[in-house]
Each structure stands twice: as C-alpha cells, then as structure tokens.
Structure 1
C-alpha cells in the first residue's frame, strides 16, 4: 500500500538531503523563544500550517498568515487542534513567508501512457492541477535510467514562457527533485507552488509525496514515518479487520471524502496513479483502494460486499480498474464482484449508475462475460476496456463520464 508524507516531513528529512531550497520553519513544540527569534529574523511575516494527511489546506482555511509573535503563538495552538477534512493534525508549524513574483507547479509520477515516470510543469502554480488548462502545462516522459537532465527542464520552462533569470536555478531544483523521487522509492511527488523571488530564486513552498512501501529504496530511506492521530472511519476499520483476517489477497482502503466514484482498484502502484488521475480530472473518488494479490472468490466477494454496503448507495459511478495482472485470475475476481453487486441489489433495490471496467490478465474474457451478464440483468449501463487501454486513459474517461452523467441521462441515452 502507499505511504504518504506531508510538507513537514519533507522539510525535516528530505529537503536538506537533496539540496532542495525551502523556507525556514519551526514547529509548535520548539518553544516560545525559537518562535520569537525566527519570526523576528523573517521580518515579522510567516505562515502557520497544520501537519495533516489531507490536501487542499488552503481551501479548508487552515493556512494562516501571522505578523507578530502573539498571533503566531495563538494560531499554532488553534491550528494544532483543528480537524481538516476529517483528519486530525499531528502538530502545527510555522514557515518563513517567501515574497514572490511568480509561482510554478511541478509533479513527478508514474504514467502508464509512457510506461514509466513523467514530470508535469506549469507556470500557474498555486492552483489545483485540474484547474490548469492543457495549453498551460507540459508533461515530459522520463527515462527511468537517464532521469531528468537540466537541459530538458530548461526546454520545458522555455516552452512555457518562463522568465530567463528563473530558468537555470529552477531547472537545477527540478533535477534535484527527480533525484529525490527516484532515490527514495516514491510513486508521486508534487511541489505546488515553487515560489520564485524577485531575484529569481525558487523555493519549494508546499509539498506532498506518496511512497511505494514495497520498494527497497523506501525501506532504506533512513527515517521513520511520523504517526498521526487515529481517526479511521467505520468503513476503514472494518476493511482493516477483514484484510487482517487472511493473507490471501489484500484489501486496503483509505477514505478520501469524495462523493462520486466508488473505485475497486487493483495493482499496487497502478491504484495510486488511477486515484491521482481521477482527482486531477474531477472524478472525486470516495476512497483509495488496492485489492490485488490474487484474492480467492470468498476473499474478493467479502471485500466487494463491504465496499458496496458502505458506499454504493451514495456513489455516482462504479469503477473496476487495474493494470494487466500476472497471477490474479480475472474471472474469479469479477465473478465475486458481480455476485456482491447482485446481492446488494437484492437487499436494497435497483441502482442505475454507470459502471466503467478496465482490466487485463489471465482469463480476462471469461471475467468480462460474467460481469456483463450480471450488469445486463441489473439493467446497469457499462463501458468495458481491454488491456491495451492505459489505466490513466480509462480513469480520465471515467471522471469525465461521471461529471456528465446527468446530461447523458437527460438525453435519454445509456
């Protein structure tokens, strides 16, 4: 399963190691004297933030600018105890305010379209990536062995119209970002934004990353991930207990607070990429999931049953998606999902939401036919993709379909 880190962990353990330029910071536990000294050093201007495993902190209203010591102390205490999207902060911290002339967005992730990693850059930093027009961002596929060169980063920045004085220092920092990504077993990392000072120096001013816990590079990362206050939902608790009940097939979920797509996802790293793609395209997934590991019928049936009991009634779409499996028997997992879906309808009544399916692997055709028969019986509209369609393309399609499903139904079409 994926392991997530926040900006504070990045500041504490990774930024210095990989020579990435970041603002100075101080945590709420550092003491009044330290807070006072640094605030004075920074010219009396700083930002207080929660260290929490939740995104969109700015939109949630929990990033507070402070201009004096009294405000700083008060906000550090308040934000430390403020719930953010159902998540409780581990602590709060204060970072130096970086004056800037521009902000830049960057993200590195694995992209099935290129069968490898890619970097996306935009000069419209500070915005959600889904709000940035395609003409204002560039995605560059990267060779996993050669990595990202400064000349490649420079070419992308020039293509986007970046000021010349910014290109060289930002290119070097993007190369360092790649070095961190590939050296620590990350699946995804995002800096949003890089704040660029009037002198042209970049600072990484917000950060998040997801690691692949099975990657040996992550296992040798050199520090322990911090523990956050436990606030698991009933669904997460029941799924965790179900996952622990057997070693055959994994059943991992993490609620995201979404309200649209119920995702039954397979394939470890593919699950993270699919979820990121859904979120970037406004798909609003209800949870992150990973149900691979060749689960037997009873295991997959129980997993799907839990997902449906807790989430199907509020979902606007069912997404069944994963990469091409090597060992997982597709007909077994799809039969289990189909039976769990039929059982839900028998108990709760008909549902009329679209189903999007994308998978590859052993006995795929039998699995698709089994699922098709059940969906036809239930009268549920569906679209099925084969193994030659990249999972990111299927996820993007699913997000757009979910957002426009009301218009499709008004038009009288399935």
Structure 2
C-alpha cells in the first residue's frame, strides 16, 4: 500500500478476473488489512479476514494457517505480490488454492541469486533483454518518442508530461544517478534500435550524473550509426556548458533546451509536423 508504505492483505468473495470492477461498483465487498510491519499478521487479524469471507468452523483455522503462511512466504522470498485466485472450498470441506501468482521484488535479487535462473526471457521484449545486460531500467512502450532520463521519478514525470502534450513515449528508460559514459551509450543505442522511434527526448538533471558524460555517451552511441531522427536534449547541472558544446559540435540533429516543459513542447511539435508531412505524403 503506497500511502502507508506497508504490505496489505486484500480478500474478497467477489474476486476473479473482474476484481477492479468490483472495487469500483461494490467496494464494500473487498476486505483490506494494512499489515503492521512490527506485529505482522497475528491469528486474530487472520480470523477477522476469514470471518468476513464467510468461513466457518474448521475452515477458519485452515484460513488462519493459510494467511499466516502466505505472509511468511511474502517476507522470506521478498515478494511484491502473492496472489491466490481463486481460493476454493472443496466438497469435502477443505480450503484449496486453485491458482497462485507471485511477483518478486527486483531490488531484492541480490538476496536470491536463484531467481535469475527462473527468468523466462521469452516473456521480454528483445530490447528489454539487452537493457538487462547493462543494468538499465528499461520498459518498452507503444509510442514513437524514445526517452532517456536519469532517475525513476524524473522518468515517470517526463512520460506524464509527454502524454499531456499529446506525445507518445516509446519507452521508460532510467540510466541511473551515476551512469558511466559506456552505460549511457548502451542506453542510447537501445533507443535507436527501436524501429518505432521517430524522435528522441533526453531529460537529465546532472547532480551525480554529469552533463558531459551524457553528451559523450550520445556521441559514442552514434559513431557507427548516423541517426536522422530529431533529438531534443534538456540538461541541467554539472558540466552543463561543456555537455551542450559537445552536442553542438557533434554534427547530430540535436536541439538543446533549458527546461522540461520547453523540451517536451519542442519534441511534441517536431513529431506533430513529421506526422502531418507523412499523412500528406500519402494523400498526395
């Protein structure tokens, strides 16, 4: 639960595939327990949940055991989600978990090296697999504006502002706070490898991340590829003037701006013009 920064237990007798619809139309059918990190789930917590689900007799004891076991697994395995859906009562009066879904917290992988062997790479986009090699936080999206940002919060804000201006991000990509020149170059090459990308927006706040390192990485990534797509760069912070000068002398189709709003407006305007030209070209 984001508001309380705690794990929560959610249960309902009206679950299934349409639980979001239940939450909207009949929220009273959903039981939520915010779990105290120090207390955990005590038997009396679990008993209340079981009673609210309509369990009776020995099923309550089974339900308490099940709920406490789930919480133990959640902590031991560093899960971000542990879902039993559906939980059934059998004809002979037993509780049975029919299906289970577990999400592991990526940030806890260092405590569970065995998890890496469980990853099914067929479920990832090839660019996401490439990004993992460089420890880049990259998620492929459906838009046409490639984004390179430092910091997850700034990256999310950048995507939001792009959407507000009618632009469609092609990815989420956080290079991190102190990325090397090589890591920045790898990130930029991944963006360029996306065939849907028709423009690139770089948004960097250079505290730990120096602006000249970003510029070096962009230039290194384009040594063997000369991208003809527009690139808009918003940088601020350490070694800003040096970074801007390097990009200006690179020969790339780069425009630099002073702030996030100006950068988003610039790339959105460029992409809008490209779209109109493309459509008119087909009409003619």
TM, length-normalised to structure 2: 0.56
Q: Deviations over 1:170-193 (max 9, x none)?
A: xxxxxxxxxxxxxxxxxxxxxxxx
CA pair 360-369 structure 1, distance change in 2 beyond 3 A:
same
Q: 2:22 aligns with which of 74, 80, 95?
A: 95
Contact map agreement 2:182 2:217 (CA 8 A) in 1: yes
Equivalent in the alignment of 2:151: 267
Equivalent in the alignment of 1:317: 199
Q: Deviations over 1:371-400 (max 9, x none)?
A: 1222xx34x2x32112xx2x2442244224
The separation in 2 between residues aligned to 1:254 and 1:97, in whole angstroms, is 28
Equivalent in the alignment of 2:230: 354
Alignment partner of 1:295 is 2:183: no
Alignment partner of 1:403 is 2:257: no
> Displacement, 1:242?
1.8
Contact map agreement 1:330 1:367 (CA 8 A) in 2: yes
Alignment partner of 1:370 is 2:252: no
Equivalent in the alignment of 1:34: none
> Displacement, 1:327?
2.0
CA pair 283-94 structure 1, distance change in 2 beyond 3 A:
closer
Contact map agreement 1:236 1:255 (CA 8 A) in 2: yes
CA pair 14-403 structure 1, distance change in 2 beyond 3 A:
farther
Contact map agreement 1:271 1:322 (CA 8 A) in 2: no
Contact map agreement 1:281 1:396 (CA 8 A) in 2: yes
5+ residue gaps, structure 1, are 6-11, 17-23, 29-47, 50-91, 100-222, 244-250, 346-350
> Displacement, 1:330?
1.0
CA pair 290-96 structure 1, distance change in 2 beyond 3 A:
closer
The separation in 2 between residues aligned to 1:266 and 1:408, in whole angstroms, is 32
The separation in 2 between residues aligned to 1:96 and 1:317, in whole angstroms, is 39
Which structure would you say has the larger Rg? 2
> Displacement, 1:264?
1.2
Counterpart secondary structure, 1:327: coil
Equivalent in the alignment of 2:223: 342
Equivalent in the alignment of 1:384: 256
CA pair 271-356 structure 1, distance change in 2 beyond 3 A:
same
> Displacement, 1:367?
0.8
Higher relative contact order (CA 8 A, sep 6+): 1
Q: Deviations over 1:343-375 (max 9, x none)?
A: 222xxxxx432211101111111111111222x
Q: 2:165 aligns with which of 270, 276, 281?
A: 281
Alignment partner of 1:252 is 2:240: no
Superposed counterparts of 1:33-112, under 5 Å: 49=18, 95=22, 98=25
The separation in 1 between residues aligned to 2:241 and 2:9, in whole angstroms, is 46
Q: CA RMSD in A?
A: 3.6
The separation in 2 between residues aligned to 1:409 and 1:94, in whole angstroms, is 40
Contact map agreement 2:233 2:257 (CA 8 A) in 1: yes
The separation in 1 between residues aligned to 2:152 and 2:128, in whole angstroms, is 18
CA pair 372-15 structure 1, distance change in 2 beyond 3 A:
farther
Equivalent in the alignment of 1:27: 15
> Displacement, 1:402?
1.4
Contact map agreement 2:155 2:173 (CA 8 A) in 1: yes
5+ residue gaps, structure 2, are 27-77, 82-101, 104-118
TM, length-normalised to structure 1: 0.40
